[in-house]
Every structure is written in structure tokens, then in C-alpha cells.
Amino acid sequence: MKVYKGHILYTKDPGRFEVLENGCVAVEADGRVIGVADCPAALDCADAEVIDFGDRLLIPAMIDLHVHAPQYRNLGIAMDLELLPWLQNYTFPEEMKYADLAYAGRMYRRFVYDLWRVGTMRSCVFATIHTAGTRLLMQLFQEAGLGALVGKVGMDRNSCDGLTEPVEEMVKGYEALIAEFNAPDARVRPIITPRFIPSCTPEMLRACGELAARYQMPVQSHLSENKDEVAWVRELEKESSCYGDAYDRYGLFGQTPTVMAHCVYTKGKELKLMKRRGVMVAHCPTSNLNLSTGIAPVRHFLDEGLCVGLGSDISGGHDLSIFRAMVYAIQVSKANCQQHPKWPFLTLPEAFWMATKSAGRFFGQVGSFEPGYEFDALVIDDSDLNHDRYSLLERLERYIYLGDDRQIVHRFCRGKEILLPATWPAAAGTSAAGASVSAAILG
Ligand code: GUN
Ligand code: FE
């Protein structure tokens, strides 16, 4: 058992932060939180090793509920098109390159390193159609010690030549990955990932639903992101009453734990179906802006009781940091508020809760310091930002708005401190030397 001391901030509920000045969190050897208290004596753990972080902030680690690893090279470029032409012109041609394992290894390593760097300890990831590349990405997550649900992507229509896979190959590839990454309680696991309805024939969707049911696997995809996409799905799936119903008919809408990215145009029947099926939403505010998609009505989703987390949606989104995603989520909700005055904008504790405890539900008990939760945490040394007598809540808010990886001094996933493997090029540097580290990794 270990006891970590510091200024503890986390959210149990969306409405407010829990704050313990000079508090303690006790963590069992299996990586789960025993409890949080003002002093070790209150935790009944006299013989535990105590690690004191002094004046630093101790918060739950970030969770990215929707991100495309093979789009990492396109980060910050190709922002001049809406979703469908953006996919055809920029995204599919990039993803095709992942047939080359050497390229995949170079890019994926950089991606996983950067997730670690920005404090994201769990993520829900799209890879590509390629089984070998997907396996490599999963191995890199394992090597790094980060938690991830990783999807080999199902696509068999409306793509470029070379970026589709026949249904039987898809099933064979998935079954191989499921067999390889089957350790009980594994931190890195596969997730069934039909790209979206326009990329998948009914046979592909049916096979994905059958895999999810047969192996009791979670599911991720995209839903109601863009007006042209929604109209296209209506044409493709004429019998379905809405886009969500099209997934539902193939067993891909909450029959097993399911997360759908975007949901910008989700309302009425679709919203009710999501609620009934417990389908989670990955809200990706920077992607909503960059792809000129529109803004997802997150306040409405929360009022309706949907479970919402945050995603970076690289490279539709341009920023891997979930701290930045919190800020954008609040800002886009403020822009939306002018059009929909009945939906008040999001607050900071709500955004933090979405990025931690709410998203964490998809990974089990992750994202809080309540008893039984897996201890995923960041230690923030904000001394460079704390130049006056700021309260602890103000310090956290300033870190979220102004900070970056330079202030993250320790990272934990399931109770274990996550240092990069010594064999990774970046491990030789420190986070303060971010620029040179990045150069080394690219070289
Ligand atoms: N819909 C289908 N594929 C994608 C993708 O790669 N990014 C986004 N933002 N939406 C999608
Ligand atoms: Fe996406």
C-alpha cells in the first residue's frame, strides 16, 4: 500500500470539485484507491510507504475518448475542407501509408509518446484497417504502460483503392488481435471499430456486430457529425429511422459498451435511443470547429442524462491535450449559448468531470479518487504559474487554461508510475527539454 500526499483535486459529481489541501490518497498494491483523507491516520494505513508531493497538485489523469492514431502526421494541417472531402483528400491517403510497418512504427511511437507527455493515461483509439499496424500500436501502448482500447478499423466501401478490407479478412484480423490481447484485466484491449456507416457495407456492419456479441467487446464509431454525412446515411440505410438506428440494427449501439464520437446532429429518436441503450458520447470540440461541423449540444445531452466524455479527435482536432479540450468545450458551449439561451454554458467542474470520471466509465472505474477507482493520476508542479496567493481552485483553473506538459512532473496509470521505457528515444530527455526531445524522436 502507498499513500500519496499533496493538494488533491478531483470531481465526484459534475457540479463541483472535491478539494483537500495537504490531503492524502491511499492506494492498494493492485492500483486501486482505498480512500482520500486529510491525514494518513484517518486512512488506517500506518505501515504504508508515504510519498509526499509537497505543494504540488494531485489530480486524476486525462482520458481521451476519441482519437485517430494514424492521423498524427496530419496534426495542424489540412484544415480547409469539411468532413467528407477532408476524408477523401487528406485522411484516407495518410491512413493508407500504415500498410508499411516501418512508417507505422515511427509515427505510432511519436503518438504514444505525446499522449504520455500531455498526461493522457487512457484513450479510445482508432488505428487503420491494417492488422499488423494495429498490433504494433497496441504493443507500443503496452510497452509505455498506458491504458488503451484500440480499434482495427472496419472499411469496405467508399474509400480509396487500397484502404478497404474484405469482411472475412477483417474478422480474421480481429480474431487474431482478440486472441493475443486477452489477458484478464489487460490495460490494452481491442475495441470493435466500424469507421462509420458510409465506409461499411451491411455485411461489414453485421460482422462487426457479431464480433462484438461473440467476444463481448466494446464498440466505437462516429455518429451524426456532419450534415452531408447524415444525408448520405439516410440514403444508404433507407429502412433505418435515424443514423443511430442503423448501428442499432447491426448490434452496434449499446448491445455492448459503446461510444459514439461527435453526435452534433443527434436529437429526437436518436437521442432517446442512445439514452435507452446507454451509448456514450465523445465530444470533440476542436474537431467541431476545424471541420466546420457545428457544435454538439453537450448541455442538452447532460440534461438528458447521457454520459459524455471528451476526445481530441486528432487530426480533425488539432490539439492532443485533453486540458485544452476542456477549455474548448467550455468556449464552444459559450458560443452555442447565444443561439440556444435555454442551454447554459459548461462550467469548469463539468468539463473536468467529463474529461475524467465521466469518460472513465468506459474503462471501468477510472477518473476519480473515490474508493475502488484505479489510481490514474498526474502531479502538477505549477510553481511557475503560482506567483501570487492563488487558491487551490484558482491554481487548477490556471493550470488548465495556461499550463502544458512542462508542469506535469509525475504520471500514474493503475497505481504505477509511468516513466517512458529507456529504449524510447524520448526517454533520454526531460519534459522541460520538450523541443529537443521531439526532434530526437522524429530523427
Ligand atoms: N468520420 C469517419 N471517419 C472520420 C475521421 O477520421 N474523423 C472524423 N472526424 N470523422 C470521421
Ligand atoms: Fe473521429
Average pLDDT, the chain: 94
Residues in contact with 364: Cβ distance below 8 Å, sequence separation at least 6, in sequence order: 374
**Residue 62 contacts residue 378 (beta carbons within 8 Å):** yes
C-alpha cell at 339: 443561439
How many CB atoms sit inside 10 A of residue 30's CB? 11
Cell 474508493, located at residue:
371
Using the mean position of ligand 1's atoms as its centre, give its distance from the Cα of residue 291 in Å: 10
Using the mean position of ligand 2's atoms as its centre, give its distance from the Cα of residue 287 in Å: 8
Q: Nearest C-alpha to atom 3 of ligand 1 is from which residue?
A: 195
Using the mean position of ligand 2's atoms as its centre, give its distance from the Cα of residue 195 in Å: 8
Mean pLDDT value of segment 426-436: 42
Cell 479518487, located at residue:
369
- Give 132-166 pLDDT, tens digit per residue: 999 999 999 999 999 999 999 999 999 998 999 99
**Residue 170 contacts residue 134 (beta carbons within 8 Å):** no
SS (H, E, C) 253-278: CCCCCEEEEECCCCCHHHHHHHHHHC
Cell 505549477, located at residue:
382
Angle, helices 131-144 vs 167-180, to 10°: value is 20
| Mutation probe of ligand 1 site: the residue of 94, 95, 193, 196 with most atoms within 8 A of C-beta | 196
**Residue 283 contacts residue 310 (beta carbons within 8 Å):** yes
Mean pLDDT value of segment 422-439: 48
Ligand having the closest approach to the CA of 317: 1
| Alpha-carbon distances of 440 from 335, 344, 346, rounded to whole Å | 40, 45, 39
When mean pLDDT is compared across 60-74, 256-270, 414-428, the lowest value belongs to 414-428
Is the pLDDT confidence value at 431 over 70? Answer: no
Residues in contact with 67: Cβ distance below 8 Å, sequence separation at least 6, in sequence order: 123, 124, 125, 126, 311, 312, 313, 314, 320
**DSSP-derived 3-state class of residue 127:** coil
**Residue 123 contacts residue 114 (beta carbons within 8 Å):** no
Mean pLDDT value of segment 433-437: 37
Is the pLDDT confidence value at 428 over 50? Answer: no
User: How far is it, in rounded angstroms, from Cα 132 to Cα 183?
Assistant: 19
| Mutation probe of ligand 1 site: the residue of 64, 87, 287 with most atoms within 8 A of C-beta | 87
User: How far is it, in rounded angstroms, from Cα 309 to Cα 372?
Assistant: 20
pTM score: 0.95
Residue environment code for 280-313, b if the CB has 16+ CB neighbours within 10 A, otherwise e: bbbbbbbbbbbbebbbbbbbbbbeeebbbbbbbb
The residue among 101, 105, 106, 190 whose CA lies nearest residue 148 is 190
C-beta of 195 in contact with ligand 1 (< 6 A): yes
**DSSP-derived 3-state class of residue 34:** strand
User: How far is it, in rounded angstroms, from Cα 156 to Cα 165?
Assistant: 5
Is the pLDDT confidence value at 183 over 50? Answer: yes
Q: Nearest C-alpha to atom 9 of ligand 1 is from which residue?
A: 316
- Helices assigned H by DSSP within 340-366: 348-353, 359-360
pLDDT at residue number 437: 37
pLDDT at residue number 339: 86
Is the pLDDT confidence value at 393 over 80? Answer: yes
**Residue 420 contacts residue 113 (beta carbons within 8 Å):** yes
**Alpha-carbon dihedral 430, 432, 436, 437, rounded to 10 degrees:** 40
pLDDT classification of 107: cutoffs 50, 70, 90: very high
> CA neighbours within 13 Å on the CB side: how many for 212?
28
pLDDT classification of 425: cutoffs 50, 70, 90: low
pLDDT at residue number 381: 98
C-beta of 316 in contact with ligand 1 (< 6 A): yes
- Helices assigned H by DSSP within 340-412: 348-353, 359-360, 392-402
C-beta of 95 in contact with ligand 1 (< 6 A): no
Between vectors from CA 109 to CA 94 and to CA 434, what angle results, nearest 5°? 110
Residue 148 DSSP code? E
User: How far is it, in rounded angstroms, from Cα 159 to Cα 157?
Assistant: 6
Q: Which residue has the higher pLDDT, 422 or 24?
A: 24
Residues of the chain with pLDDT > 90: what percent? 90
Residues in contact with 11: Cβ distance below 8 Å, sequence separation at least 6, in sequence order: 17, 18, 349, 352, 353, 356, 357, 368
